[in-house]
A = this chain, B = another copy of it.
Amino acid sequence: MIKVGVVGGTGYTGVELLRLLVQHPEVELHAITSRGEAGMAVADMFPSLRGHVALEFSDPTKSTLDKCDLVFFATPNGIAMQQAPALLNQGIKVIDLAADFRLQDVAVWEKWYGMPHASPEWLEQAVYGLPEVNREQIRNSKLVANPGCYPTATQLGFLPLIESGCVNVSSLIADVKSGVSGAGRKAETHILFAEAADNFKAYGVNGHRHLPEIRQGLSRAARGNVELTFVPHLTPMIRGIHATLYAQITKETDFQALFEQRYADEPFVDVLPAKSHPETRTVRASNLCRIAIHRPQNGNTLVILSVIDNLVKGAAGQAVQNMNLMFGFDECTGLSHVPVLP
């Protein structure tokens, strides 16, 4: 049983994290902080948690996060890099669900996030929390940078191909579609129901912050530079990411077997039978990534379909998976929910 704190639990990753944590047998929720909502019962903001969460949001400046074993940051970018070091220095472990520690190169981070990094010394100690790549480092880390939603779906779909050197890494294409919760719980016009429903659009084609994160991960796997065209889209659903990935074959192999072997021992990656079409709803509210491999007309282009729930495997669920690793719990503890379909 560990004591857990959550900084900034008023967004979608926050409420999803709370949903998972209150059902986790090894976790005692100790504090949930929010500058804006201090004093409000968490269950008043999210009535779905009535009967499960008795805490109020507490003032970050007065909270007792230092009594925790682990603190999650479910805050906007730029907060964790300021507040996490103090906790880390007291020996408290930290998982940041935002982007503050995801990029190892400070200059790249500062370019894409448009601000100076407040704790570059922690950047190099942070472990990128994709267990399918960094499981052992995560076990031993103090600070985990939880991956973004697009990067999780995209990397899991490309990794077996890149690690095995089977595809041209200078012309990868990731055409990725996200449900609207991926934009966060922010009062912005473009994600209003009447704007986003019955509508489909690409956005950020000229540069999205998840591009350098994906490139970093794939380049490590390739042990060399990777070039990627990444086009995110907004699709009128609440949850879910569907990555449609394109790669040019440079070396023949049994691609179906390649994926099956790569993920044979992965509890949260499900390689579907050949010619399947994974639907986002088949992972809804679960920590799974489902992947299918296609080679249309037996040509030179591979098409990989990879789906996750952006709030679970793409955020809160992966954070809990990382927590399980960091504290020596079974990796699947508290994460065995059956997807909610329909």
Contact between chains at A244 and B202 (CB < 8 Å): yes
Cα A179 to Cα B194 in complex, Å, equals: 8
Q: Contacts A175-B244, A185-B194, A246-B173; is A342 near B239 (CB within 8 Å)?
A: yes
Q: In the complex, what residues of B have CB within 8 A of residue A48's CB? A: 281-284, 286, 338-341
- Could you mark each residue 301-342 of chain A with 1 if its beta carbon is under 8 Å from any beta carbon of chain B, else 0? 101010100010000000000000000000000001111111
Q: Contacts A49-B338, A171-B248, A181-B342; is A197 near B198 (CB within 8 Å)?
A: yes
Contact of A280 among B12, B200, B279, B338 (CB under 8 A): B200
Q: In the complex, what residues of B have CB within 8 A of residue A272's CB? A: 47
Say yes or no: is A70 at the interface (Cβ < 8 Å to chain B): no
Contact of A201 among B12, B200, B242 (CB under 8 A): B242
Contact between chains at A194 and B275 (CB < 8 Å): no
Q: In the complex, what residues of B have CB within 8 A of residue A198's CB? A: 179, 197-198, 237-240, 281, 284
Q: In the complex, what residues of B have CB within 8 A of residue A244's CB? A: 175, 202, 231, 233
Say yes or no: is A192 at the interface (Cβ < 8 Å to chain B): yes
Q: Contacts A171-B248, A229-B296, A238-B194; is A201 near B339 (CB within 8 Å)?
A: no
Number of residues of chain A lying within 8 A (CB) of chain B? 87
Contact between chains at B200 and A279 (CB < 8 Å): yes
Residue in A188, A272, A281, A283 whose Cβ sees the most chain B Cβ within 10 Å: A281
Q: In the complex, what residues of B have CB within 8 A of residue A339's CB? A: 19, 48
Contact between chains at B341 and A340 (CB < 8 Å): no
Q: In the complex, what residues of B have CB within 8 A of residue A341's CB? A: 15, 19, 46, 48
A interface residues, Cβ below 8 angstroms from B: 12, 15, 19, 22-23, 46-52, 171, 173, 175, 177, 179-181, 183, 185-189, 191-203, 205-207, 227, 229-231, 233, 235-240, 242, 244, 246, 248, 270, 272, 275, 277-286, 290, 294, 296-297, 299-301, 303, 305, 307, 311, 336-342
